[in-house]
Amino acid sequence: MKRREFLYSAAAIGSFCLARPGWAASEKMVVYKDPNCGCCHAWSEAMRAAGVSVTAQDVADLNAVKQRYAIPVEMQGCHTAVVAGYYLEGHVPLEAISRLLAERPDLAGLAVPGMPEGSLGMGDDPRASYDVFAVSKDGSTKIYQAVRPNI
């Protein structure tokens, strides 16, 4: 390999490794999860891999956490994360979190109800199809981001 090709390759790899959300280093995230849930662990690890400072707290009663943040029952997922005063319920993708923290809308949080197949932590499949909901402080919801297949 020629020196120039090596330098271009090194620069490309380095920029890929450094690519992370701009908010990742400045915000701290707490993830409340069931100690036996593998997908919650996988979602937390994906946040860490993106450079987010994550503290995972195993809790015996997730319903108490969901009640504390007034998460509507129909919006509940398998774990609850909190960052910058917002909650992230379920398998919220990194792109939606980045947008939320860039825009800082007047919301309680984002939610991906249930455990959609292919969502972040549930296989991270590019063919996944599900919606991310914005949850207002009054509990009303609307679609914040539609995740559709990249085919």
pLDDT for the residue numbered 27: 82
C-alpha distance from residue 36 to each of 5, 33, 58, 78, 138 (Å): 46, 8, 9, 11, 32
CA atoms within 13 A on the CB side of 40: 23
Query: Which CATH number does 23-147 carry?
Result: 3.40.30.10
pLDDT for the residue numbered 22: 58
Q: Taking the chain (151 residues) in consecutive chunks of 10 residues, what is each chunk's mean pLDDT?
A: 36 38 72 90 92 94 96 96 97 96 97 94 90 97 94 68
For the chain, give every domain's residue range. 23-147
